[in-house]
Structure 1
Amino acid sequence: MATRNPSRTSATGRLGPEDRERSWRRLGEETFDLVIVGGGVVGVGAALDAATRGLKVALVEARDLASGTSSRSSKLFHGGLRYLEQLEFGLVREALRERELMLTKIAPHLVKPVSFLYPLTNRVWERPYTAAGLLMYDTMGGARSVPGQKHLSRSGALRLAPSLKQDALIGGIRYFDAQADDARHTMMVGRTAAHYGAVVRPSTQVIDFLHESDRVSGVRVRDVEDGRETDVRAHAVINATGVWTDELQRLSGSRGRFRVRASKGVHIVVPRDRIVSETGLILRTEKSVLFVIPWRNHWIIGTTDTDWNLDLSHPAATKADIDYLLAQVNSVLATPLAHEDIEGVYAGLRPLLAGESESTSKLSREHAVARVAPGLVAIAGGKYTTYRVMGADAVNAASVDLPGRIQPSITDKVPLVGADGYHALVNQADHLAAEHGLHPYRVRHLLDRYGSLVHEVLALAADSPELLKPIPGSPDYLQVEVVYAASHEGALHLEDVLTRRTRISIEYPHRGVESAEAVAGLMAGVLGWDEAAIAREVEVYTARVEAERASQDEPSDQAADAVRAAAPEVRPELVEPVS
């Protein structure tokens, strides 16, 4: 088994330009226990799991960390209340345990409790039926660290959510789950893996597999920023590419043990004042459920659940998707939402295991892991909440190809970077704000994004106090956060900052366009961009936003996909896999 060099461990898992260059040299010069392909939450979770077991691990991602499914979820850490109806008790129990770990130990700075109101509409059977399900949910762990269910009369429910129609409910039940910024959480898991010695390198695409006799012995990768290529040797490779699992499987020349089916989920974002409520909502629909989720100064409303067989990299929301969401939520709102209320729209693809059911909403959220060839393991399916378990299962499956015995998984005891000291800093927020000349609410916002890494962020403004001013056009974020994204968080392009390190692209009606030039200018100082590079970044990002807006006026997936696909790719050397 390869030995990790502790001297290469980053104090906070920094993913800056210098670290990127050092990582490239390591990829070409060293032999790893594991190479993990895919920088979504399962991939970074597997990288952290392997690194904390003492393995030498590298993770490569063709685009940005969380650039696929893991930045486009409902942003919930939930037990999957609706899976109780599908009798998936094991999945619910497992998810609730993971939610508890995130809230209390692993990521308290990123994962927060959130309440939901379930409006009751049937006087006879619905309250006892739902109460029994929630009692089971609470008993399985749903009431740990958060309040248990609370039953409300119609007047009580309407006091909690005055925007609901009077005749939309006869009562309600309030319960709690948890939520997180999925893209930030995924990136922080990746940084934690780097902190424990893993090579974590975005914009690094697998273009081929290495073989020795009948076994996979590594991958050939291309730096999609400059076109360099190198071989990365490893005892085993884990395919954690989600909806791209089948494509990578074909590239490896191995026959997969399961197939992955992409299901499109669309969400819309509206201002908080459009729905007057102290709680989120969970509504039954004919097909599944609809969430109305509190999101800072906004509401996230979703989701849809439909098959998607087009471009995996850029799933497109259609006018029909948006109309469906508006119709569902407006069925219970006294003042209906209109298209003009929408600030942002995003579409993501769930990697579901292909099964017999024709309805994607009924496909199991269980995951599958298989050793598909000597030296190659694939993992897919599952749900965001159980990423840690999935990562451990993938590493366990790969262990048969590693020399020597490996240690058991310990990630249930490993806090993410930024977690240690977070609670004390929350108590000290007023002092920290006074020290830096910020309003306390600004510091609390930073703490919920960076945890105890807030000191690193604010240190960048020590000699440049102007960085503590808001980003032009996006006042919820500070300019120093852009600099930090490029210097510490692996952001290489304008899109990475506007859509994932911040959520400007979905939280403002301009979708980041009004902030693009200022943000590109801030990134340029870290990444060495000249005026031409800045102009290109702004141009490509603006074209992407225009294409997404236009696609959302199209009636069908095919039409929306064609419009969205016309936008240019920001990573110049990226090659789309052949289906």
Structure 2
Amino acid sequence: MTKTSLTPDQRAASVEAMQSQTFDVLVIGGGVTGAGIALDAASRGLSTAVVDYQDWAAGTSSRSSRLVHGGLRYLYNLDFKLVAEALKERGRLLTTIAPHLVEAQPFLWPLKTPVVERAYSAVGVGMYDALAVIGAGGRKTVPTQKHLSKKAAIRHFPEVKADALCGAIEFYDARVDDARLVITLIRTALKYGAEAASRIKVTGIVKDEKGAAAGAEVTDLETGASFTIRAKKIINATGVWTEETQDMAGGTGGLKVLASKGIHIVIPRDRLKAKAGMFLRTEKSVLFIIPWQHYWVIGTTDTAWHEQLENPVPTSADIDYVLAHANEVLDKPLTRDDIIGTYAGLRPLLQPKVLDESKSTKVSREHTVSEVIPGMVAIAGGKLTTYRVMAEDAVDFALGKEAAEATPSPTASLPLLGADGYEAVVNQSARLGKQYGFDADRMKHLLSRYGSEIGDLLASIDEDPTLAQPLQHAPQFIRAEVSRACTVEGALHLEDIFVSRVRLNSESRDRGGACVDEVAEIAAKALGWEEARTEAEKTNYRARIAAELAAEEQATDAAASAEREKAVDIVGAGVTA
């Protein structure tokens, strides 16, 4: 039977396999790039193992702007090739790879001057649309631009200041639940034979007698056990941890990466009645006001981060910055009282020089693959939208030209779990909703998370009808979603559920605090926790909430980081007993 569920039993089996096999490819890093690499390698028929020392997507890939986009602003730099590549990937995600997870989203580009700005903006957006159509083989995967008068723009976004625009251009990009995409990539890699285990920390790189990479020394943070994973090729996809990981191998190759912090705030959906999002250029970067079904995400920032890498946090100043820029165009200013969530992530900014130019290949202006030592490569840079291209490039480079040509990547047309049959399930939405007592809003929510796998979720409700009940303090989620997070989606701890699966950590004012008891009760049943373990998980997550809320009141990165670090990580010395 094909395995597609991330569970404690699956993890244990994968850990056992990692100790007994020699893999064609070992992927270090379980963010979107590493998950994409694992799927790319496994779908080529390569024996593949993927590990991460945190939860899946725990780093940058659960802390992004949650956008799939071509990068409209890059057109200002005449970066046509880069934009075309990203738009091509956006089209693939929308139509084939993950149509259930990636949804087209209209945005307004407000115009300040009626003639000149509209003319050059129209050319830029027109080129954006044209590149998207070319990338999709002549098909339109999203609607093309529309020019809106001032009156029409205000109808689309009633809360905009009357003097903030003289009109607008409506254009399309797409949005995605970043962490859910990563988890689905890992699960799809399982389908094609990969072995996967989260919270496995790499502590050293094993070399053969010629000095080539031959595997990794690792520690299972859930049990404290240490062992060796043998592999013919290693791919380092650890983002802001790139240098730390490649330093274990020594050598002169590798990449140089700096961390840049981007923060977002979350506000309730009913705070703005707008039909479209908004795209604003700032003095440093861009600001997106992005609508989701139950909330808005607003961000981002771009500032150097010099603190610990595991838990970046917004400061009070960061939050004020985002509010100030959003309020430049909003008629009724947002205040801190409107904010129901905040989060921060670190971009792995690739530096211009790799450590040894002779051992690298510049495959894109956005990302680079480099040989660290023979048998080990590193990839960094890029963005979520182009994860698949990055993955293909990394595996190609690791294999070498001849082997890569003999086993090319199939991922450009490979649907992720939940994508096959998605349209057919959408057509049954009203009937299924009626059968289970779910309204249209609930069905939209479930379909956008599970796609054609919604049948599996509904089957769990057939077995236990109490799973159909909404969470008491977060009724946008039902109990079955918490159970599935544990039995299918790889959650090992309470924080895994709140942060990356039932995402109340960033989407509710108390970071899910009111739901801790109920969610822990469901998780305990699904994962077989004893009472002591359940209480420890609850205590740990509540400490995290307190630390995060305290951090965002601080004025500086150093002070905010210090507050966040007061919450101790749940794993490290073995917590599964």
Q: What range is the shorter-chain TM-score in?
A: over 0.9
Q: 1:333 aligns with which of 327, 330, 334?
A: 330
> Which position in structure 1 is the counterpart of 2:308?
311
1:112-165 alpha-carbon deviations (Å, 9 max, x no partner): 000000111123421111111111111101682111111111111111111011
Aligned to 1:320: 317
C-alpha contact 1:68 1:348 (8 A) present in aligned 2: yes
Counterpart of 2:373, as a letter, is: A
- Classify 1:440/1:132 alpha carbon distance in 2 versus 1 (closer, same or farther; 3 Å): closer
Contact 2:208/2:214 (8 A) holds in 1: yes
Tell me the alpha carbon deviations over residues 45-96 of structure 1, each in whole angstroms, 9 at most, x when there is no partner: 0011011111000000111111000011110100000011122211100000
Larger displacement relative to structure 2 (229-238 or 395-404): 395-404
Distance in structure 1 (CA, Å) of the matches to 2:573 and 2:147: 56
Q: Out of 130, 153, 169, which is 1:157 matched to?
A: 153
Residues of 2 paired with 1:306 and 1:474: CA distance? 33
Q: Report 1:30-109 matches (<5 A).
A: 30-109=21-100
Rounded to whole Å, the distance in 2 between the matches of 1:295 and 1:377 is 37
Question: Aligned pair count?
Answer: 558
Q: Which residue of 1 aligns with 2:361?
A: none
Of the three residues 277, 292, 296, the one matched with 2:293 is: 296
Task: Give, as a single letter, the amino acid of the residue that structure 2 aligns with 1:332.
Answer: V
Q: Work out the CA distance in 1 between the residues paired with 2:47 and 2:405.
A: 14
Instruction: Supply the AA of the counterpart residue of 1:347.
Output: A
Offset of residue 257 of structure 1: 3.3
Instruction: Please tell me the root mean square deviation across aligned C-alpha atoms, in Å.
Output: 1.6
Counterpart-to-counterpart distance in 2, 1:203 and 1:472: 31
Q: Distance in 2 between matches of 1:435 and 1:498?
A: 28
Aligned equivalents of 1:58 and 1:346: distance in 2? 30
Tell me the equivalent position of 1:513. Answer: 513
The percent of aligned pairs where both chains have the same amino acid is 48
Equivalent residue for 1:360? none
Q: Determine the C-alpha separation between the residues in 2 that align with 1:449 and 1:383.
A: 22
1:171 to 167, 181, 188: 167
Deviation at 1:273, TM superposition (A): 2.0
Deviations 1:527-553 (A, max 9, x none): 221111111111111111111111111
Which residue in 2 is equivalent to 1:577? none
| Shift of residue 413, structure 1, vs aligned partner | 1.4
1:196 equivalent among 176, 182, 192:
192
Q: Which residue of structure 2 lines up, in the alignment, with residue 272 of structure 1?
A: 269
Bigger CA drift: 430-439 or 227-236? 430-439
1:285 paired with 2:262, answer no
Report whether the alignment pairs 1:205 with 2:196. Answer: no
Residue 546 of structure 1 aligns with which residue? 546
In structure 2, runs of 5+ residues without a counterpart are 134-138, 354-363
Compared CA separation, residues 212 and 44, structure 1 to 2 (3 A): same
Task: Name the aligned partner's letter for residue 149 of structure 2.
Answer: S
Equivalence for 1:145: 141
The equivalent of 1:3 in structure 2 is none
Distance 1:440 1:332 in 2: 32
Supply the distance in 2 between the matched residues of 1:116 and 1:439 (Cα, whole angstroms): 27
| Secondary structure in structure 1 of the residue aligned to 2:378 | strand
Match of 1:133 among 117, 124, 141: 124
Match of 1:228 among 220, 225, 233: 225
Equivalent-residue separation in structure 2 for 1:414 and 1:387 (angstroms): 14
What's 1:476 paired with?
Answer: 476
Distance 2:51 2:255 in 1: 23
Asked if the contact 2:261/2:347 (under 8 Å) is kept, the reply is: yes
Q: CA deviation digits over 1:202-250, x for unaligned, max 9?
A: 1111111111121110011111111111111010100000000000011
Partner amino acid for 2:34? G
Separation (CA, whole Å) in 2 of partners of 1:474 and 1:72:
21
Quick one: distance in 1 between partners of 2:334 and 2:280? 16
Return the offset for 1:403. Answer: 7.9
Determine the structure 1 residue equivalent to 2:244: 247
Q: Which amino acid aligns with 1:92?
A: V
* Kept after mapping to 2: 8 A contact 1:399/1:406: no
Residue 519 (structure 2) pairs with residue 522 (structure 1)? no
Change over 3 Å in CA distance of 1:55–1:180 after alignment to 2: same
Q: In structure 2, the residue corresponding to 1:173 is in which secondary structure? A: strand
Which residue of 157, 166, 183 maps to 2:179?
A: 183
State the SS of the aligned residue for 2:461.
Answer: coil
Which amino acid counterpart does residue 192 of structure 1 have in structure 2?
T
1:116 aligns with 2:107: yes
**In the alignment, what sits opposite 2:136?**
none
Secondary structure at the aligned position of 2:121 is classed as helix
Indicate how the Cα distance of structure 1 residues 120 and 207 shifts in structure 2: closer, same or farther if over 3 A, else same: same
Pairwise CA distance, 1:313: 0.5
SS in 2 for 1:148: coil
2:537 aligns to what SS in structure 1? Answer: helix
Q: Matches of 1:573 and 1:541 in 2, distance apart?
A: 17
Q: Is the 8 A contact 1:38 1:59 kept in 2?
A: yes
Runs of 4+ in structure 1 off by over 6 angstroms are 401-405
TM-score (norm 2): 0.94
Q: Distance in 1 between matches of 2:305 and 2:51?
A: 25
Q: Secondary structure at the match of 1:550?
A: helix
Amino acid paired to 1:75: R
Name whichever of 137-146 and 474-483 sits farther off. Answer: 137-146
CA distance in 2, matches of 1:82, 1:500: 29
Q: CA deviation at 1:435?
A: 2.7
| SS of equivalent to 1:461 | helix
TM-superposition CA deviations, 1:504-562 (whole Å, max 9, x none): 11221111111111111111112221111111111111111111111111111111111
TM-aligned CA distance change 1:440 to 1:135, over 3 Å? closer
User: Which amino acid in structure 2 is aligned with residue 212 of structure 1?
Assistant: D
Give the SS at the match of 2:400.
helix
What residue in structure 1 maps to residue 433 of structure 2? 433
Residue 146 of structure 1 aligns to a residue in which SS?
coil
Q: Is the 8 A contact 1:365 1:383 kept in 2?
A: no
Deviation at 1:404, TM superposition (A): 9.5
Q: What is the letter of the counterpart of residue 380 of structure 1?
A: A
Report what 1:557 is aligned to. Answer: 557
Deviation digits for residues 3-47 of structure 1 (CA, Å, limit 9, x no counterpart): xxxx6x41xx11112111111110001110000000000001001
Q: Residue 4 of structure 1 aligns with which residue?
A: none
Q: Distance in 2 between matches of 1:334 and 1:405?
A: 56
Q: Corresponding residue for 1:490?
A: 490
Q: Is the 8 A contact 1:369 1:393 kept in 2?
A: yes
How far residue 441 of structure 1 moved from its aligned partner, in angstroms, is 3.0
- Secondary structure, in 3 states, of the residue corresponding to 2:104? strand
State the distance in 1 between where 2:405 and 2:20 align. Answer: 24
**Aligned AA (1:62):** Y
1:251-304 deviations in whole A, cap 9, x for unaligned? 222334320111100000001222221100011211121100001121100000
Q: What SS class does the counterpart of residue 286 from structure 1 fall into?
A: coil
Secondary structure, counterpart of 1:443 in structure 2: helix
User: Is the CA contact 1:426–1:447 (under 8 Å) kept in the aligned structure 2?
Assistant: yes
